[in-house]
Amino acid sequence: MSLAAEAFVSQMAAAEPWPENATLYQPLKEDQILLSDCASSLAVQAYLRMCGLPVQVVCRANAEYMSPSGKIPFIHVGNQVVSELGPIVQFTKAKGHSLSDGLDDVQRAEMKAYMELVNNMLLTAELYIQWCDEATAAEISRPRYSSPYSWPLSRILSYQKQWEVRRKINAIGWGGKTLEQVYEDVSQCCQALSQRLGTQPYFFNKQPTELDALVFGHLFTILTTRLTNSELAERIKSYSNLLSFCRRIEQTYFEDKSS
Amino acid sequence: MFQTTGCVYKVSSSVRLSSSWFVEGLPLVLADPAQAYAQFAGAPLKLRKISNPWRSPSGFLPALRTNGKETLSRPSDIIIHLRKQKYNADFDLSAKEGADSLAFISLMEEKLMPALVRKPTRLVRKTFPHTKHGSCFQIYAFWIEPKNYVDVTRCWYAAHMPFPLNFFLPGRMQRQQLEKLRLLRGDEGLEAGEDLEKELYRDAAECMNLLSQRLGSQKFFFGDSPSSLDAYVFGHLAPILKSKLPNGKLQQHLKSLDNLTNFCTNILLLYFPRDGQESSGPKGSSQPEGGDFDHVPHKRRKQFLSALVALGAMLSYAFMTGMVSIQHIQQEALEEPPDLQPLGSHEEEGDG
């Protein structure tokens, strides 16, 4: 989004309160959505719930093409459409809902840094495992990704997507990595998160922030998704405070609806 | 002053590290945390400057050659190697501080740092993270920003590459960098336009602000001694601070953050005393002194070589047109006793 458009959106956003009929779009939950998209979507949902903003989740097979940035998830609020966690956080802030107001400058810098850490390592690792590990790509990613489409199109789209992601992975220098190295990186990231969390309920003490939403989205999705092998989840399970962190957020913010 | 082109460090005849570390004026191929790290940890390395990346043992800069004939090229691998050899700058960090360094390095890689550093994988704490978006900014500042690219980066590379390469390599490198930037931003129709520039500058400036906030009034990021995070931050900010790009918005922003500027100058003075003098000239360390971009390494050698080539060309022309002929002289010199005629007359005979 260009700067001018962004400024315009935030101005517009400030004018209106959060409507009741806000919608979050994501791909089909049962058949189509992939690990990384599911994680990002869950992070946004967790964030909105932490803010206390109601949102209705809608599954669409073409969600990826509906999104303004081509990324999932995106929310439709009033007459605006915003995609991805970062811009959504900005957007809600413009409407007067923010989780990070209570932090001082140093903490805010640290929060941003940790969010980049998660995007940098967990999200990239998810993409790598989905599309660059041939077993996972053939067994799970390609069939699921193309499930709404019929034969010739499904193959074309899924291979196109795989090619695109691989190019990106190569550009950031992960192309030469082995699966084992990627798992090792995930471990490193989780170790850092676990050390930072320590025994606190949330990363910055009593109040949840967008960092908590992001970490929860990724860890919870990895823990509850079945892949070709469970190595990725096993790596996370060795950090007990991260597990109880996920459970805590799930109970606090998601329990009432599921029960 | 472009002197410091690339470097090799040598540890008491056992380890060598070549890196492209430009203290000033530099289209830095690689701002090099590994080198700063080695300095902080007190590893006895020796610097060797090279200007052609292909001459490095691994084809990349920097590179570290150990006595085991091993060549390490990624900054992170070099740091791990140094750690194994008991040169460690992170001994007194707590677990939480280690985690924080990891996070801030991610932040910089995402927002500021160049993907120039091919695969910044493992740094300290066994692993440091990985570029996801490689730093769009420095790619932009050095390669895409039209003014900077034409005035500085391209000239610099053209001047420092061997002859036939300098015509096409800079252009090819620029296209590669643009391609990379496109992939990283996930935007196919990327142009080197105003919007892109603003966006990248904004991200980079935000990253600097965050670093500055985190540093506060401390001397180093974690207490009184430098750690790998300091090496990382310094390795990437010092080149921005010291470079003389015509379009230096980012440099201006960095200069407005006093604590970060001081942080860089301090480290430069403390750990790179020679480079510091060399680069800062008469003390005013961060003042650009107007460009002498035409400085070329091995000037003497090049002058000598070009004189040699010119001489060769002249001589061969002389031979080809038959102005001079050695064979005739020798044959006639053999036929007739040398004493009989003065040398000059032989050449005249050769002409005919």
Residue pLDDT, tens place only, B215-241: 888 888 887 777 777 877 887 777 777
Of A225-229, B56-60, B82-86, B221-225, which one has max mean pLDDT? A225-229
pLDDT of residue B55: 46
Residue A178: is its pLDDT beyond 70? yes
Return the SS3 of A152.
helix
CB contact under 8 A, B210 and A189: no
Domain extent at residue B42: 7-297
Which is nearest to B157 in space by CA: B299, B51, B298? Answer: B51
Task: State whether B162 and B237 are in the same domain.
Answer: yes
CB contact under 8 A, A116 and B125: no
H or E stretch covering B9 = strand B7-11
Q: What percent of chain B has pLDDT over 70?
A: 30
Task: State whether B220 and B346 are in the same domain.
Answer: no
- Residues 6+ away with beta carbon under 8 Å from B201: B137, B249, B250, B253
H or E stretch covering A82 = strand A80-83
Which is nearest to B186 in space by CA: B136, B130, B250? Answer: B136
Task: State whether B287 and B320 are in the same domain.
Answer: no
Could you give the residue range(s) of every CATH 1.20.1050.10 domain in chain A?
A: 105-258
| CA separation for the pair B167, B28 (Å, rounded) | 20
The partner residues of A56 in beta bridges, in order of sequence, read: A23
Q: Mean pLDDT across the stretch A146-159?
A: 90
| CA separation for the pair B205, B201 (Å, rounded) | 6
DSSP string, A27-81: S-TTTT--HHHHHHHHHHHHHHHHHT---EEEE-TTHHHHSTTS-S-EEEETTEE
Task: State whether B286 and B322 are in the same domain.
Answer: no
Residue B116: is its pLDDT beyond 50? no
CB contact under 8 A, A109 and B132: no
> Can you give the C-alpha Rg of chain A in angstroms?
18
- Residues 6+ away with beta carbon under 8 Å from A130: A34, A35, A36, A136, A137, A140, A141, A165
Task: State whether B157 and B172 are in the same domain.
Answer: yes
Residue pLDDT, tens place only, A197-237: 888 889 887 888 999 999 999 999 999 988 888 888 898 99
Q: Which residues of A touch B (CB under 8 A)?
A: 2-3, 69-71, 105-106, 108-110, 112-114, 116-117, 119-121, 123-124, 167-168, 171-174, 176-177, 181, 184-185, 188-189, 191-193, 195-196, 198
pLDDT of residue B51: 46
Number of domains in chain B: 2
| CA separation for the pair A217, A40 (Å, rounded) | 6
The answer to whether residue B315 sits within a structural domain is: yes
Task: State whether B111 and B92 are in the same domain.
Answer: yes
- Residues 6+ away with beta carbon under 8 Å from B104: A110, A113, B211, B214, B221, B229, B232, B233
Closest CA in chain B for residue A171 = B180
The CATH label, of 1.10.10.10, 3.40.30.10, 3.30.565.10, 3.70.10.10, for the domain at A3-94 is 3.40.30.10
| CA separation for the pair B64, B62 (Å, rounded) | 7
AA letter at B351: D
Task: State whether B58 and B164 are in the same domain.
Answer: yes
Residue pLDDT, tens place only, B251-299: 788 888 888 888 888 887 877 765 544 444 333 333 333 334 445 566 7
The answer to whether residue B268 sits within a structural domain is: yes
Residue pLDDT, tens place only, A33-59: 899 999 999 999 999 999 888 889 999
Say if residues B250 and B271 touch (Cβ distance below 8 Å): no
pLDDT of residue B2: 30
A-chain residues within 8 Å CB-CB of B195? Answer: 2-3
- The beta-carbon neighbor of A106 closest among B131, B195, B213 is B213
| Mean pLDDT computed over every residue of chain A | 86
Q: Mean pLDDT across the stretch B134-152?
A: 53
| CA separation for the pair B89, B95 (Å, rounded) | 14
Task: State whether B293 and B313 are in the same domain.
Answer: no
Crossing angle between the packed helical segments A35-51 and A210-224, to the nearest 10 degrees: 140
Residue pLDDT, tens place only, A65-118: 888 888 888 999 888 888 888 889 988 888 888 888 888 888 888 888 899 889
Q: Among the three residues B258, B282, B297, which one is the final residue of a domain in this structure?
A: B297
Task: State whether B70 and B215 are in the same domain.
Answer: yes
Query: Is B295 part of the contact surface with chain A (CB cutoff 8 Å)?
Result: no
Which is nearest to B227 in space by CA: B91, B128, B121? Answer: B91
pLDDT of residue B79: 56
Please give the CATH topology (third level) of the domain spanning A105-258: Glutathione S-transferase Yfyf (Class Pi); Chain A, domain 2 (1.20.1050)
Task: State whether B220 and B159 are in the same domain.
Answer: yes
pLDDT of residue B310: 94
Task: State whether B304 and B347 are in the same domain.
Answer: yes
pLDDT of residue B17: 33
Crossing angle between the packed helical segments A105-117 and A210-224, to the nearest 10 degrees: 20
pLDDT of residue B232: 76
Of A215-229, B31-45, B184-198, B276-290, which one has max mean pLDDT? A215-229
Task: State whether B316 and B264 are in the same domain.
Answer: no
At residue B1 the predicted structure's pLDDT band, cuts being 50, 70 and 90, is: very low
Preferred mutation among A2, A116, A235 to probe B, highest tally of B CBs within 10 A: A116
Strand bridging mode A74-77 / B15-19: unpaired
- The beta-carbon neighbor of B134 closest among A2, A70, A172 is A172
pLDDT higher for B91 or B287? Answer: B91
pLDDT higher for A174 or B128? Answer: A174
| Mean pLDDT computed over every residue of chain B | 59
B-chain residues within 8 Å CB-CB of A191? Answer: 99
pLDDT of residue B60: 43
A-chain residues within 8 Å CB-CB of B186? Answer: 69-71, 168
